[in-house]
Amino acid sequence: MMSRGRLILLGSLLLIGVGGLLLGRHGYLAAKAVVADRLIDRAFLAHLADGRIHRPWGWADMHPIAVLEVGRLGVRRTVLRGASGESLAFGVGHVDGTAPPNAPGNCVLAGHRDRAFAFLADLKP
């Protein structure tokens, strides 16, 4: 049987280990988001330069097609082609079958209201 002191030590080590894993995972996801944003911005600049499709990474099922800006709020969101789970994980998606951004017709954009579209609460008519 373990002594009380050893049980407390073991419990503390387990908590520290689990906490470290959770913090490490959070750090990894935050770093991944920063890298993804940079790659998406780079792909959009390449698209502006030559008008061709540039995927932010080789296996991406989306690519940047426009930028949504609300100057008063300092908001800038890159719009990605398609409203797939991958697109929405990284920002605003353009719904296939609707008018492209800056074209006649209804352009439909999709995004998470607590992340990409959180600024909507601050818009005024």
- Strands (DSSP E) contained in 1-125 are 64-70, 75-81, 92-94, 109-110
* Dihedral sign, Cα of residue 38, residue 56, residue 36, residue 118: positive
Give residue limits of the domains in the chain. 4-122
Q: Write the pLDDT tens digit of every residue in 45-88.
A: 999 999 999 999 999 999 999 999 999 999 999 999 999 988 99
pTM for this entry: 0.76
Q: Write the pLDDT tens digit of every residue in 21-41.
A: 777 777 777 788 889 999 999
Report the candidate in 45, 11, 13 with the shortest Cα–Cα distance to residue 54. Answer: 45
Q: Quickly state the pLDDT bin for 1 (edges 50, 70, 90).
A: low
In this structure, are residues 52 and 45 in contact, taking their beta carbons and an 8 Å threshold?
no
